[in-house]
């Protein structure tokens, strides 16, 4: 929401790379959880990844608050 119009392309590229990494690494990570824990490993692995993502998102929201003008 705070990206200048001159940096939209770079932001879009970063989001595309993050999506691609998740699409490649996600199934591999979840497969590892399932190999160790069985079928329940899918749900545990997804929960762990979602919690990590939520914690990072919260950190970024708090850290990058736009100062009041």
Q: Is the pLDDT reported for residue 67 higher than 70?
A: no
Does the pLDDT at position 51 exceed 80?
yes
On whether the CB atoms of residues 50 and 39 are closer than 8 A, the answer is no
> What pLDDT, on the 0 to 100 scale, is given for residue 68?
60
**Distance (Å, whole) CA 51 – CA 58:** 10
Average pLDDT over every residue of 28-45? 94
Query: What is the percent of the chain where pLDDT is above 70?
Result: 91
pLDDT band at 25 (very low <50, low <70, confident <90, very high): very high
The closest alpha carbon to 25, from 65, 52, 60, belongs to: 52
pTM of the entire structure?
Answer: 0.69
């Amino acid at each position: 929401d705070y990206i200048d119009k001159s940096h939209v392309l770079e932001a879009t590229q970063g989001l595309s790379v993050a999506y691609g990494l998740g699409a490649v690494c996600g199934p591999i990570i979840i497969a590892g959880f399932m190999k160790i824990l069985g079928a329940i490993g899918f749900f545990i692995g997804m929960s762990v990844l979602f919690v990590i993502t939520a914690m990072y998102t919260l950190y970024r929201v708090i850290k990058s608050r736009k100062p009041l003008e």
